[in-house]
Structures are given as C-alpha cells and as structure tokens.
Structure 1
Amino acid sequence: MERFGTLSFGHYGPLGGGRELSAADSMLQAIDLAQGMDELGVNGVYFRVHHFARQQASPMPLLAAIAARTERIEMGTGVVDMRYENPLHLAEDAAAVDLISGGRLALGVSRGSPESVVRGYEAFGYTGSTDPRGADLAREHFARFLEAIEGKGMAELDASSPFGGRGMARIEPYSPGLRSRIWWGAGNRDSAEWAGRAGVNLMSSTLLTEDRGLPFDELQAQQIRAFRDAWREAGHPGEPRTSVSRSIFPITTAEDELYFGGRQDGDGVGMIDGMRSTFGKTYAGTPDKLVEQLLRDAAIHEADTLMLTIPSQLGVEFNLRLVAAFAEHVAPSLGWRPTRSSAE
C-alpha cells in the first residue's frame, strides 16, 4: 500500500437529539477536513456522488475549493455517475479543477451505484437507454468524455466567424495530464477487464456485483489482477493505479469504543440491483489487531491505494483524529509513508 486517503459519502440531514447537518455544513466541513489531512501528509480525499439524495451530487465546486485550500493532497470522486453527465461539460469542469490543483485530480467515474429513484438520469434529460440500469448510456457518455479530455476535436470551427477558423475545436480548458488520472469504478471482473482495455485506472469498492464463493478480499484481488492483465494485453504503457475502499476504524479512545466497539463483521452476500453481490467486512479494533488483520487482506496487498470510508457526519475534529490514528499506528505497517516526508 503506497497511498491512502478517505472516501466520504457526504451525508447530511438529521443527526438525532435535535441536531441537523445541513448541505452547507457537509461541504464546508469536507474542505476543512481535506486541509487537515493535507497537513497530516495523507495522500487523497475522495467523495461519493449520489443524485436525489442528501449527499454530494455536484462535486466539482467542492473539489475546486479543496484544491485552492491545499498543497499536496489528491482530490477526486468515487464515483461520478456517467448516466447523469453531459460528457463535454464534465470534461471542461474536470480540466478546470485539474489545472487549479496543479494536476491533483483523480476522477473516478462509472455507471454508478444503486439509486433511490427510478431511472433518475432520465429526469436529467438522458433518455433512450435500452439497458434496465442505463449501462449503455454510461459507456456512451464515458467514451465521449475520454475523447474530449484527450484533446480531440469536438465541434467544427466556423470559417465565417471572426473567432473561428478551419478544422475541429477541442474542449477548453485542456489539461494535458488529466487522461492518466481517470479511474473506472468496476463492480465485477468483466467491468475491471473492460477498464484495463480502455487504459484507465481501477477503483474497486466494498461491494462487488458477483459471488464466486470466495472471501471478498480474494475475489477483489482476482479482479485487480484481471484488470492488470487486460491493461498489459491491450498494450498500454506504464503501470495503472488501483484502489480499494475499506471501512476501518482504529479504536484508541473510549469514544472510539462507544462508536465502533463490536462493529467488526464478516463478508456478506445479498441481492443488489437485481444481482447477487458480495460485501466487504468492517474492520474495527485496536491498531495492533488491525495491522494483523489488514496484512492478511489480499486485495489491500494488490492495490496501491487504500480509501478509508469515514463517518463524515461526526465532524472534522473526530475524523481528523480517526485518520491520524490510522496514519500513525496502522498505515506504516502496511508500507505507507506520508507525502510530507518527500516534500520536506
């Protein structure tokens, strides 16, 4: 494990006891948390994107704000639902954030996760899908998005315009390195292999839409290896990046014990989106126990980046302490070193 960061679902709403976390609170706290993690030397801060839900739905303004307040930390998504996206508009926004950040955007995209609404992307104006889950729309939009960020001409110049010319115009702004920092969120081996052939990085979460009778970490490790094989067979240069996400809670205080004691559980299997799926376990315990368990996690061994799902509703101070405990007591035993060491 070379890098680690946090994955936030960005939930807001009632917290109980008469307390309410607003959308503004959620975003402003996310910026403060990212700044604190940048100072700790953590590598990345990533956000889930959900529409029609009290979560982050429009991540680009948030990522731009984080870029302006931080120096080293990578920022990104896990993942943007391409069914909902205008690919050229997304290409403009992504390039702008990447340029503002100095090339620190890690944009994770995919078909998206199960929704709380029926075919919500149609309400955004994207109709015509022949797939019950809209996977065809996601792939179509993604292909167009890749062409745009690669700098290909997207519209014919108007020779009669004083601002035009001849040939095809690319999307502006254009960020030359952005193409290498695009990730596909794969839910099974087939989509992982597809991502490898497409030449994009791989994000794999704590849910896989397949069940092969294997422990979750081994199933995910196989997915990562299949992705790398597909990448090499397609002839892409260099080594792709791969990430996995985990729910990991170091228990170092009585407050941690109150929230996470007894939360340790095993893998789960169930139906989601009409598919038999495998869910990853939650890790919670003292740092020494976590190190012992995580060293046996096959997928963490395979991936270069680990994303910790964090309880963002508990506030900046609590989550910074949680992340700092992982950075100090757990991550070094998995091979991690803080980014600030190389900067200094």
Structure 2
Amino acid sequence: MPLPSQPLRKLGFLTIGLFDEQDPRRGHESTLDIIELGERLGFDSAWLRHRHLQFGISSPVAVLAAATQRTERIELGTAVTPLGWENPLRLAEDLATVDVLSGGRLNPGVSVGQPIHYERVKNALYPDTADVEDFSHRRVERLLGALAGEPVSDFEGTEGIEVYSRRVQPHSPGLRGRTWYGAGSLASARWAGERRMNLLLSSVVKSEGRDEGFAEIQRSLVTAFRAAHPDGERARVSQGLVVIPTDGATPEQRARYEAYAAARLPRTATPQGPAGLLFAPDLVGTSDEIAARLYDHAAFREVDEAVFALPFTFGHEDYAQILTDIATKLGPALGWS
C-alpha cells in the first residue's frame, strides 16, 4: 500500500481467546461472541491464536468449527498453528472438515519449529519418538500435500462393507490455496513463497544481525516472499500489528490501554533473546493517529490486507470497543469499507 489513496482491501482481527481456568466455557463463549460481532461489523476475517498448556485457546480448529455454525460470511483462520505439536495427516482431516462446514471460509496459518519447552513436554507429546521427530519445513509439506488431495495411503477400494480412499476425506478443493505461513525470517519468507503459500506477518521478526529497525526488516520479508512466489506482486501478504484505537474508549479504558503499551515498549528497543527477536510497538491512539503511523510503516505500505491483533489481557467489553472502532473508524481511515 504505497499511497494513502490505495485502499486497504481486506481487514481482519486476531484474538488469543483467554479464559479463566475455573470457568473455561465463559472465555470460549466470549471468543465466539467476538467473532459474531466481527461479522456484524463487516470484518473480512477472524483469526485465533494457538496456545498450548496456557489459558488461551489450545484447539482453535474446534472453536472455529463452532464459529462456522454461528456465522455465514466472515473468513476464519489460525494464526498460527505450531506444527511441532501436530500430526499433519490428522490435522488435514480436521481442517478439511471445518472448511466444509464453513462453506470454504477456512484460512489455516501454520509455522514450524520445536515446541516451546520441548524438554518438559516431549515425553508426554512424543514418548517413543521425541528424539527423532522432524520439526523442519517438511512437516508443512506433508500438510500441504494432504490438503491438496495427494495420496496418504496405498489402498483404495472396498473391504467388506467399508469404502476407503487414498486421500484425506473430506477433500475440500481450494483449501490448499488458503494456507498461510507465519514467517519471521528471510529464509522462511522465501520458502513460503516458493511453496505458493500466503504470508502472515506479525508484530515479531528475527533481526538476524541487522539494525535497520523492525519496519524495514519486515518489508524485506515481503520483498523476498514475493520474489520467490510464482504470483509475484499478486501474492497475498497480511500484516498483523497490535492496534488499539481509542475513539470510543472511556477515559479509564484509554488510560489502561496506554499503560499496557508503555509496559511493553521496552522490549521493542533492542533484539530480545538468543533468536534476536524484534517486536513492533503497540499502536494506541485515535484512528486518525494510528492510520498516520501505519502509512509511515515501511512494511504496511507493501500490503493491502491487515489482521490487527487484539491485546492479550483485556476484557470482553474492551475488545468490543476496539473492534467497533477498527471497523467504523480505523478501517475507513485506511480506505477499507
């Protein structure tokens, strides 16, 4: 999006789906209510984060299955499912099932790598194969093949009264083309482009020894992805920064939002941890102020799709206010309708 005169084409939101350990149903119902609100407000897509052994949604595919029955138009995605926790064939069955239920609205976003805290969970997750599991991009390739309808069995036909297929059932045509990769490095962005995936950008990138700053590093990922993708400049890229418009916020909400962003700001100054992760600042302010900051963002100027992330720790009413402001104020300020 090089110029403000070029409108944002698609607008979505991302939520973690927090819940209270003593009352998990309430949190999950709140997430479903937020997705329904998003559809009423006209959002193009709603996305769920994926959390394991935390108090956020551990099974977004199951929650999105429920969402398919409460919505009719809004696209539904995962951002992202860490495949280190998944069997690609079984996940393909679940994704295809939900896509069929949704009428072709599912957008699976995935990533690879060893599960977090692997040494502490590997004996429960992979008790017999923990030391030989392959957490490379090969795991994504297996999933893509299964979603595309490639054979996963060497048998097809009737055995007794049972009928068997060589490919994952149900097969949902088009789902393979709606898969996304969450990339934070140049190598991953290129790899996703070569595999004709779509690219999900978040508020985190790997600095990889570079000092250009978050926005320029993220823009280089977009460039590398599109250079590798057969569709070139038409290849889909979506950016997911944390934005918190305050147009409709109460003074108490506004103060709490500003305090939240201020507490997280120090981590954006320098690369964090052994991986050298760079975090983008959260954007808090009026929709006009946020729009101006986005147009100054080098990576945002390269995309025409956005999936804005809701903050982790706010309540249902906060999310409703933020989503309403994004749909009615910020989106239009970015040319979206």
TM-score by length of 2: 0.87
Partner of 2:79: 78
Q: How does 1:326-337 map to 2 (within 5 A)?
A: 326-337=326-337
Which string of whole-angstrom CA distances, capped at 9 and with x for unpartnered residues, describes residues 115-174 of structure 1? 3553635532273556xxx7x4242322111111111111122667235789x6111001
Partner of 1:240: 235
CA 1:40 to 1:92, structure 2 compared with 1: closer, same or farther past 3 Å? same
Q: How does 1:134-283 map to 2 (within 5 A)?
A: 136-157=134-155, 161-163=159-161, 169-211=166-208, 212-232=210-230, 239-252=234-247, 253-261=250-258, 263=261, 265=265, 267-272=268-273, 274-283=274-283
Whether the 8 Å CA contact 1:154–1:171 is kept in 2: the answer is yes
1:5 and 2:12 correspond: yes
Distance 1:129 1:8 in 2: 33
Q: Give % identity.
A: 32
Q: Which amino acid aligns with 1:327?
A: A
Whether the 8 Å CA contact 2:79–2:182 is kept in 1: the answer is yes
CA 1:123 to 1:304, structure 2 compared with 1: closer, same or farther past 3 Å? farther
Whether the 8 Å CA contact 1:157–1:164 is kept in 2: the answer is no
Distance 2:243 2:152 in 1: 44
Q: Which amino acid aligns with 2:19?
A: Y
Q: Which amino acid aligns with 2:124?
A: A
Unpaired stretches in structure 1, ≥5 consecutive residues: 14-19, 338-344
Equivalenced residues, count: 322
Q: Write 1 or 2 for the structure with the bigger share of strand.
A: 1
SS of 2:135's equivalent in the other structure is helix
Moved more, 45-54 or 313-322: 313-322
- Following TM superposition, the consecutive aligned residue runs of length 4 or more in structure 1 with deviations greater than 4 angstroms are 163-166
Which string of whole-angstrom CA distances, capped at 9 and with x for unpartnered residues, describes residues 17-63 of structure 1? xxx77322221111011001100001111111121222111111100
Whether the 8 Å CA contact 1:79–1:112 is kept in 2: the answer is no
CA 1:158 to 1:218, structure 2 compared with 1: closer, same or farther past 3 Å? closer
Unpaired stretches in structure 2, ≥5 consecutive residues: 1-7
Distance 2:115 2:54 in 1: 12
Q: Which amino acid aligns with 1:84?
A: W
Distance 2:329 2:163 in 1: 60
CA 1:261 to 1:109, structure 2 compared with 1: closer, same or farther past 3 Å? same
CA 1:55 to 1:165, structure 2 compared with 1: closer, same or farther past 3 Å? closer
Distance 1:113 1:9 in 2: 21
CA 1:335 to 1:120, structure 2 compared with 1: closer, same or farther past 3 Å? farther
Partner of 1:17: none
CA 1:151 to 1:159, structure 2 compared with 1: closer, same or farther past 3 Å? closer
Partner of 1:323: 323
